[in-house]
Structure 1
């Protein structure tokens, strides 16, 4: 036994956690260390039991239909009834014990109730068709009712008495509004027999003086805290103003960045256009250079063609043949009495006459 007591709290807690909650509750009487560890395990077990029950209830309700009439014929209807009855039983236990557990006056004493609730929850989880609610919850109702009655009749009066005595003994921890309450010696002597725990008037006067001193100190501390709070509020206002200014600056910077992005996009577009134009100009330049480097250009061809035509015009033999062909065509034309035809013939004869005179001139000169 001494070896168990000398173990660290973590090791002792791990060893006791392997027991049932009923056995943990029974082992509280061993020693103070066991009592402290068992109290913590019992309170933790009650919280775990509440969480596990809530998970089971949510899982079952999520599978039930929304209509109340359809829930009665559903296979999980009996599960839901059992879990709802356990929920009411847990709420009754919580109202009985948890208020005093939170005040650290006691722990959740009935460990057997936790074991029974866990047993019912595991049975509901593992079986598809559990028994009826009044059958499976009979033991839980009996032991929980007995635990609550025992707590109300046997344990609660002692807890209330301990609360009253702790309040009276720790009266210096309470604050009064102001002023020192002095009790006269005559009234004190008359009522000393009625005061609990044989308090004298001198002790009461000392306690009230201490209370008054503490109230003054508390007032000063409250004033200093209020001053600090006001300073913090001013600082928060300044910080808020600076944050608003920074947000405005950020908005302006974002607008400028957007404008610069648009300008850069336009400049990039212009650069692409100029690059296209420069590419076209370089292509034309290269084409012009290639044409200038060729031996027979178009202008030379034109000049050669004009010179060839001029040489043919200056040949007298070819001109005479052309004139003879023209005359033959005129002679072979049918005679017509039309005035227009006569005018045309005259025009041609004049034209041919002038042409012969011109042809004769260069021959005489030669």
Structure 2
């Protein structure tokens, strides 16, 4: 049997990746409450809370875009649409997220704190899942009542209890802002017990520090406005890309139609060529038959002339030899379908029959 000491069973002895994986199974409210365990838990829980806020914001954006894409363009038609209540709830949540971001994210970006109210993240995720899987969600003022209460309480608590301590810690850690017109050497605040005023070792007073922090705040605001403008430009570019993608799809569809028509025309041309070759073959056969028929007619004409000559000679000479040749030529003569030839053949056959009978 294996025994483990109490030091080996402690959670803070685990690697940070393993501990982070364990804490992800908890709700964000429980993660926020576990920050008080130790410094390691505080560091990991801060990272998980900030990540949870970003993931929740992205998930809300996806839900809002998917709902808006299904709504009609007309405002009058949207009110009677089944997803109108979903859109109202998501819009109200977007307002709450922007208010929370204005309160916390400025100090989260400066690494002075994390997104403290984990219960707010849990409530927003619960509402988003509820409206995603239901066709008829409750009314906005009913489903958002708890979110309004806890988010307002969180922002008031931050402004009243946490923000003064953060400002004091900013004043204490002024040496970390050397990039904003501060000297590169470290500055230390010396407290004089007699006057009660604090003066820097390099001659910087509280007024000077106040001016420096005003500059920091003004630059931060300018950076935010520039970021907003850049986001707007990125949105316009995305819309242009979307329109161009639609145009490309239309052009590709037209190209497919043209390719289909070209294939059909190629098949038709091939069939026409086949028919043309057949007709050319038929015409060649007809011309050959016509030439043979003409040759046969010429041969028949020559034989007729020959028979006539022989007949005239036989009539003049009255010899039996010419009569025999005439009969032989008549018998050897090719058959013809001409009416005159048929009559001539009948006449000659009858004449021969009479002579044979005599």
Normalized against structure 2, the TM-score is what?
A: 0.50
CA–CA distance in 1 between the matches of 2:182 and 2:12?
A: 45
Equivalent of residue 169 in structure 2, options 162, 165, 181: 162
**Higher Cα radius of gyration:** 1
2:260 alignment partner in structure 1: none
CA–CA distance in 2 between the matches of 1:7 and 1:130?
A: 43
Q: What residue ranges of structure 1 are gaps of 5+ in the alignment?
A: 178-187, 208-366
1:4 alignment partner in structure 2: 11
**Does 2:31 correspond to 1:24?**
yes
Equivalent residue pairs, number: 191
Equivalent of residue 204 in structure 1, options 196, 202, 205: 202
Equivalent of residue 13 in structure 1, options 20, 38, 42: 20
2:110 alignment partner in structure 1: 103
Q: What residue ranges of structure 2 are gaps of 5+ in the alignment?
A: 1-5, 184-189, 205-358
Show the 5 A alignment for 1:223-238: none
Show the 5 A alignment for 1:186-265: 193-196=195-198, 203-204=201-202
Equivalent of residue 50 in structure 2, options 43, 59, 62: 43
Tell me by how many angstroms 1:204 deviates: 3.0
CA–CA distance in 2 between the matches of 1:63 and 1:171?
A: 48
Please list the CA deviations of residues 35-60 of structure 1 after superposition, one character each: whole Å capped at 9, or x if unmatched.
00000000000000000000000000
CA–CA distance in 2 between the matches of 1:71 and 1:171?
A: 51
CA–CA distance in 1 between the matches of 2:26 and 2:163?
A: 27
1:115 alignment partner in structure 2: 122
1:61 alignment partner in structure 2: 68
Tell me by how many angstroms 1:174 deviates: 5.9
Show the 5 A alignment for 1:283-294: none
Normalized against structure 1, the TM-score is what?
A: 0.49
CA–CA distance in 2 between the matches of 1:154 and 1:78?
A: 36
**Does 2:81 correspond to 1:79?**
no
CA–CA distance in 2 between the matches of 1:171 and 1:48?
A: 30
Equivalent of residue 92 in structure 1, options 92, 96, 99: 99
2:216 alignment partner in structure 1: none
Tell me by how many angstroms 1:193 deviates: 2.6
2:140 alignment partner in structure 1: 133
- Does the C-alpha gap of structure 1 residues 63 and 166 become closer, same or farther in structure 2, counting only changes over 3 Å? same
1:360 alignment partner in structure 2: none
Tell me by how many angstroms 1:195 deviates: 3.3
Query: What do you get for the CA RMSD once the two structures are aligned?
Result: 2.6
CA–CA distance in 1 between the matches of 2:93 and 2:177?
A: 42
Please list the CA deviations of residues 7-46 of structure 1 after superposition, one character each: whole Å capped at 9, or x if unmatched.
1110000000000000000000000000000000000000
Tell me by how many angstroms 1:165 deviates: 1.6
What's the secondary structure of 1:204's corresponding residue? coil
CA–CA distance in 1 between the matches of 2:177 and 2:157?
A: 31
